[in-house]
Amino acid sequence: MACTMGAFGPIYMNALNRLGFESELTRISGNTIDVTIFGPRLPASSSRLNQTNDTVDRTLYSYFDESIEYQYRTYKSGVYLLGYNNREIPNEPDFSYTVARGWVQTIKDLEPNISLLSGDFDVQNNDETHYSALITKLTQQRFQFELGQTIELRKSIDAKELIQVVITGIFEPNYEDDKYWNNVEMFLDPPPLADTADATPPPGVRVDADEPPIALFISEKDFGSYAEGAGNGKLVSSIWFAGIDKNSFISNDIQYPKLLSDSFERKIKTSLAGSTVFVSSIKGIVLNIEDKANAANVSLSVLITSLITCGILLVALAARNLTSSRNPHFTLLKLRGASLTSLLNFYIIEILAITVVTGILAPLIATLISKLLINFTGISSQSIDIFSLLSNSPVAFLYSFIVAILAGLVSSLVSIISLLQAGRKINYARAGNESPSLIQKHFFDGVLLILGFITIWYLLFTDTAFASVEEGSSQLTSMLLPSILLVAIALLFIRLFPMTIRYLSGRSTSILNLLWALGFAYISIYIFLQNINDFDIIVLFQLCLFATATVTGYTLTTIKNSRFIIWVLGLILQASSIIFLYQFTEIEMTSTMKLNLIYLGVILLLQLIYPFLKLIENRSPLWVSMPLLRLDRGERYYSTLLLLVITSAGLITMASTVGGTFSKVQADRAWYQNATDIRVTGISKFMQDDAKKLQEKYQSFDGVESATRVMRINGGVGSISNEILAIDPVVFANSAWFREDFSSGETQKILNRLNIPLNQNSLFLPETSSEIGMWVKPSRKFNNLYLLGVLQGSQGKTRTISLGSLNKSGWSRMVAEIPRTLKSPIELLSIQIHEPGIAKNSKAKRTPGNIYLDQIFVVDETNQETIIDEMESPRWSPIPTTVIAPDYAEITNEHVYSGEFSTKYKFGVFANLDVRGIYINNLESGRIPFIASKYFENLDDFQINQGFYGTVSGRLTPLVVIDTIDYFPTLYPEKSMFLIGNIDHLTRYLNIMSRLESIEPNEVYVDADTSDNVDIGTLIKNTSPRGVSVSDITSTLNEIKSGNIHLTGWKLLSITSVIFVIISISIGNYSHLDFLSKNSASTTALLRALGINKLEIAIINLVEHFLVMGCGLIVGTLVGRQISLLIVTNLTPAGSLNTTSPPIIVTTEWMIIIPAIIVIAAIMMLTQIVASIKVYKTDIPSITRIG
């Protein structure tokens, strides 16, 4: 059993690594691993394009050959200026309008993967003066292109080469081949060039940096003509995509896929200098598995090492029983002249044979157990079989032989002691007396000393007792230390147990002497060290007085045959010294000091109880006093069993606690990641069903209790970036999963503080309104400034309308039509000024100035004008643009169109993402409230309930943090600081800048009926638009389990270890009782001779045995629990779970411990009954002959 556990470790860990790799492969969508090769930008020519393509093809097929499932390539030209009707490329510098930009490109196999909406893919080009091109539906809608329209491409306004492209078709993807579009969809509608190397336009033209480029798709044949014609010598980009069958990466060695991908990357980079290669996920998977293995293998090793320890203890117990049964024969052989050497040779040959046999058989058994446990993980494997497990773990044989040798040494040591004992019995027969040998008396003391030395050395000469694997701590020492501690504590208890029995039986106070000495020494040293820096004579005198009184009092109580009055005087002195130290000294009473005084008080109470224990012992029944007497004087008989029981009980507790904790960790992390029963993410505002529509759809499903929209965006506080989660604080608080330690059990109460209602400043338009306008007076003519208004309809959609140019210096009536797409009630959110020609991210300074606003009015269908705001109230606030020189709005009478006052808006040279203006602030505080993570409290320049300006999705925003929280579902404080806000407050403010980019909710969280969440999750997946991600709590938990196969392996191994321990205790218990029945025959005969019947003897044996086993189980359980805390908190770093949120809560699976203890108790009872039957069947003459 011990050797099997030794061989089991490397075999099982190798199997978990391989299973984890295969599990990660199955989690990748589709049946292939994507290979992406970004070729270098090369001067265009047909020969060069063909040469690079042949190089890539040869390399791909030389490495993967028949495993290649698909292969695509794309060529793309450089950026050109594009000219077309009403937007031509100027022949000379002209900055009065913006010029479009784009490129031509070709993608292999484009035609079978698209749906043509109009036109044709390839139109005959007889004169070869132009190229036929396709465009996407979005490009056609954005630029209003028509079929047959000609587009001219030039590198610059003075370039001689001119390329003509004719639009011959408009298409959209058909998405039948998901893998195809996962790779090339990014080329369909490319993003703006503002943040790329091509952001700067050629000289002489003006471009809009935020306008997307135009992608023109031509055939491969035409691109070859382009490379030889107008594009010859110009730089082109090439990208290759390939899909490799996932099964080709499965190997007996998880390093093989990583080595294969590394070799492939080096080959490509050597052949195509300047290229970049990505073998999707493979290296990341291997590194991830290695990280998780390093994190989990140490804790797995702790459990396996403890199992080996139990096995070796069982070896010692069995060897003692075996040699004990042989002692009469060896004694007879020695009396007949056999030498001790010849007897030892027998043992050595026997143990050597057992060592060789077990060293060979153990790996085979360990392989079978590993395969069985792998099958129970619920994850199928294509490559893991018994032969591959054994052949890929040759080190298992080495470990097996090491454990076999160690077990053989233990067995040999026990046998040698037994032989020495047999020799001493011969001497006893000759000399007439017998005394225990030095080895017998202090064997366990020696072992305890060695283990204690190892532990202390490790604690003193390493930075921490349980350093994490990432910190470079030794796996060997981290693996062995818990087992060493468990055995050391068990050995210590073996020495303290008889002393405790003597105290309880009223025979000795040695245990009190030891405990008092330790407590008194500790408190004296503690007081001395606490006051060593500022020691004065008074404190020294008080300490000496306390020490003298305490020592004197305790000495008086321990004097043998002392009078009662002296004993009472000793107790009084001790009690007085404790009261004196607590009440009347100048020594500071820390919590440690108080605990020490309580400890001394408990010792005092135990001294007071001792005389009553002596009195009870003298009058106790035989079935009580006799077991205590035998436990007191026969410690060497039950020491090994007690050691095995303590170690085994500690192992059961450790296995069930760590396994239970890992199970809870996985469940908690699943809920933390999902927040609710079902989580829908990746919702885009460009989808046909946005977050609001999806929320309404999900809410209509049977079994859905609530659905709430959430907006997840990025932001910043000072120089600290953060993640922002905007929620409905009422609905989300009632539907999401929270744990009490997230915010001291007050999460819902804290979230409710975000539920601040909007004030009455809102400005709604009458339902019959068709136009909106206002009177405006600029401080001067602004020919390049325009006045805008931002309106919001009932669906929460915002629209920006233009009221015209601010090119007049006097009062002017500015009016714009209200978009008919907006549904009532319509609300005016903001009034803004716009200066075209400057990109939103540009740091260029804008035109400063000020404008006066008066009488906002609406016009209905009958041309009836209604004033809705006289602009004489402080409802308007300036949109923050900078904290250095902010804009401001004020009520003034400097210039008034009508009434007594108007609103003056003064604007500077800065903008908030190209936005300047005023808006209606509907919050009384003027700032958007947030709840922050605890990290906020560490920021020097920010405080709770103190307003500041932060960035939210790139926009400068007035914020105030009203509270902090430790953890929040879906947010990870170890990665970045987070903020939680009210979605209504945030979307309202952010979308006053909707002219640039509207910010909308991008996630929906669904709280479903517990019994139906899987079916509802399936329904939501089937009815959600393409591109969104739907995860229900069950699938998330399964994903976490499959992604953390090592923790699942821990769980299985913990159950296996419980079975192993039950078998060990059963064998050890039976062996111990069998040993006692042979070595206590004389005691049994004596009791029978004294008139004690067989039933009373059985009861005495039962009480004695259950005292030993019960104490061992209790101590082992307590010690195992504490060691479990060390393992969980220190030997399980974040690497095994990818994150540390939420924190680990240690959980014991009592449903494993309690049945295990019941089984052990039943086995103890059964073996004791068997032993009692032997007593019943044995008469006094037989017992006398055996004795």
Residue-wise pLDDT for 344-386, tens only, equals 777 778 888 888 888 888 888 888 888 888 777 766 666 677 7
Bridge partners, residue 932, by sequence: 964, 979
Here the tokens at position 97 are 């309008």
Tokens 């300006």 found at: 949
Taking 70 as the threshold, does the pLDDT of residue 295 lie above it?
A: no
Q: How far is CA 334 from CA 327, 331, 413, in A?
A: 10, 5, 19
**In this structure, are residues 24 and 285 in contact, taking their beta carbons and an 8 Å threshold?**
yes
Cis peptide before 482 (omega within 30 of 0): no
What are the distances in angstroms from CA 1054 to CA 367, 660, 677? 17, 9, 30
Overall average pLDDT of the 148-166 stretch = 90
Which residues are paired to 68 by β-bridges?
A: 244
Unique residue bearing structure tokens 């040759």? 394
> What is the H or E stretch that residue 949 is in?
strand 948-952
| Euclidean distance between CA atoms 855 and 865, whole angstroms | 11
Q: What confidence score (pLDDT) does residue 431 get?
A: 44
Q: Of the candidates 78, 74, 50, 129, which has an alpha carbon nearest to the alpha carbon of residue 233? A: 78
Q: What is the DSSP letter of 841?
A: T
* Residues 515-528, mean pLDDT to the nearest whole number: 83
pLDDT at res. 195: 66
**Cα 121 from Cα 119, distance rounded (Å):** 7
- Of 649, 485, 633, the closest CA to residue 1069 belongs to 649
Asked whether the predicted pLDDT for residue 1006 surpasses 90, the reply is yes
| Residues facing residue 171 across a β-bridge | 116, 136
Confidence band (pLDDT; 50, 70, 90) for 1135? very low
778-783: long-range contacts (C-beta < 8 A, 24 or more apart)? Answer: 778/806, 778/808, 778/809, 778/849, 778/850, 778/851, 778/852, 779/809, 779/849, 779/850, 779/851, 779/852, 780/809, 780/849, 781/806, 781/807, 781/808, 781/809, 782/806, 782/807, 782/833, 782/847, 782/849, 783/807
Average pLDDT of span 114-129: 74
Residue 1133 above 80 pLDDT? no
Q: Which residue has the tokens 């939210």?
A: 952
**Crossing angle of helices 1094-1130 and 635-674, rounded to 10°:** 40
Band (pLDDT 50/70/90 cuts) for residue 475 is very low
> Which residue from 793, 810, 801 is spatially nearest to 773, judged by alpha carbons?
801
**Listed range (453-462, 951-960, 1089-1098) with the worst mean pLDDT:** 453-462
The span from the CA of 526 to the CA of 506, in Å, is 33
Candidate ranges 279-293, 350-364, 439-453, 648-662; pick with highest mean pLDDT: 350-364
Distance CA 321, CA 789 (A): 95
Identify the bridge partners of residue 1005 per DSSP, sorted by sequence position.
679, 708
Q: What is the pLDDT of residue 438?
A: 46
- Burial-class residue 294 by CB neighbours within 10 Å (0-12, 13-18, 19+): middle
- Record the tokens describing residue 1093, joined without a space: 């019947």
Q: How distant, in Å, are the alpha carbons of 125, 234, 552 from that of 229?
A: 15, 10, 110
**pLDDT at residue 1014 greater than cutoff 70:** no
Instruction: Give, for 817, the enclosing helix (H) or strand (E).
Output: strand 812-817
- For residue 708, what are the contacts with CB-CB under 8 A and spacing of at least 6? 695, 727, 728, 731, 732, 735, 1004, 1005
H or E element, residue 718: none
The residues facing 83 across adjacent strands are 152
Model confidence pLDDT, tens digit, residues 950-986: 999 888 999 999 999 999 999 988 888 999 999 999 9
CA 976/CA 960 separation, integer angstroms: 19
According to DSSP, the residues that pair with 33 across neighbouring strands are 244
**373-384 residues labelled b (16+ CB within 10 A) or e (exposed):** bbeebebebeeb
Q: For the ranges 234-238, 822-826, 1127-1131, which has the lowest average pLDDT? A: 1127-1131
Question: Per DSSP, what are the bridge partners of residue 920?
Answer: 876
SS (H, E, C) 929-944: EEEEEHHHHHCCCCCC
Structure tokens at 382: 């294509």
* Residue 1093 or 473, more confident: 1093
Looking up tokens 């069982």, which residue turns up? 314
| pLDDT, tens digit (0-9, with 9 covering 90-100), for 695-718 | 999 999 988 999 999 999 999 998
Task: Give the Cα separation of 742 and 617 in Å (integer).
Answer: 54
Please give the structure tokens belonging to residue 340. Answer: 């001790």
Q: Which tops the pLDDT comparison, 773 or 333?
A: 773
pLDDT at site 450: 57
pLDDT at 1136 over 60: no
> Quick check: 440 and 484 in contact, CB under 8 A?
no
Q: Which residues pair with 217 in a beta bridge?
A: 105, 134
Of 127-136, 582-591, 796-805, 1109-1118, where does mean pLDDT reach its minimum? 582-591
Is a pLDDT exceeding 70 seen at residue 75?
yes
| Most confident stretch, 274-283, 870-879, 1050-1059 | 870-879
The confidence score (pLDDT) of residue 434 equals 44
CA distance 780 to 796: 36
Q: How far does Cα 872 stand from its chain's mean position?
A: 55
Identify which of 905, 788, 912 has the alpha carbon closest to the alpha carbon of residue 838.
912
- Judge whether residue 534 has pLDDT over 60: yes
Residue 834: pLDDT band (50, 70, 90) is confident
Distance of CA 197 to CAs 104, 191, 201, Å? 18, 13, 10
**Structure tokens given for 246:** 């996932």
pLDDT band at residue 1078 under the 50/70/90 scheme: low
d(CA 549, CA 570): 9
Among residues 198, 241, 301, the alpha carbon closest in space to that of 75 is found at: 241
Q: Torsion-angle region of residue 676: left (phi > 0), alpha (psi -120 to 50) or beta?
A: beta
- Tokens linked to 746: 């007050």
Q: At what angle do helices 510-530 and 591-619 cross, to 10 degrees?
A: 170
Most confident of 107-111, 532-536, 1055-1059: 107-111
Q: Per mean pLDDT, which of 217-221, 320-324, 1160-1164 is the most reliable?
A: 217-221
pLDDT at 472 over 70: no
Buried b (16+ CB within 10 A) or exposed e, 308-342: bbbbbbbbbbbbbbbbbebbeebbebbeeeeeeee
Which among 497-501, 568-572, 628-632, 1069-1073 has the top mean pLDDT? 568-572
Alpha-carbon gap, residue 245 to 225, rounded angstroms: 35
Is the per-residue pLDDT at 843 higher than 70?
no
| Dihedral in degrees, nearest 10, Cα atoms 1104, 1110, 1116, 1119 | -110
Residue 1006 backbone dihedrals phi, psi, to 5 degrees: -120, 130
pLDDT of residue 741: 83
Cis peptide before 825 (omega within 30 of 0): yes
Q: How is 769-782 classified by DSSP, letter by letter?
A: EEEEEEEEEESS--
Q: What is the CA radius of gyration of the chain?
A: 42
By the 8 A CB rule, do 829 and 799 touch?
Answer: no
Per DSSP, the three-state class of 754 is coil
Q: Report which secondary-structure segment, H or E, holds 1038.
A: helix 1033-1043
β 114-119/704-717 pair status: unpaired
For helices 282-335 and 340-376, what crossing angle results, to 10°?
150
Mean pLDDT of the chain: 80
CA contacts within 13 A on the Cβ side of 144: 4
Q: Is the pTM of this model over 0.75?
A: no
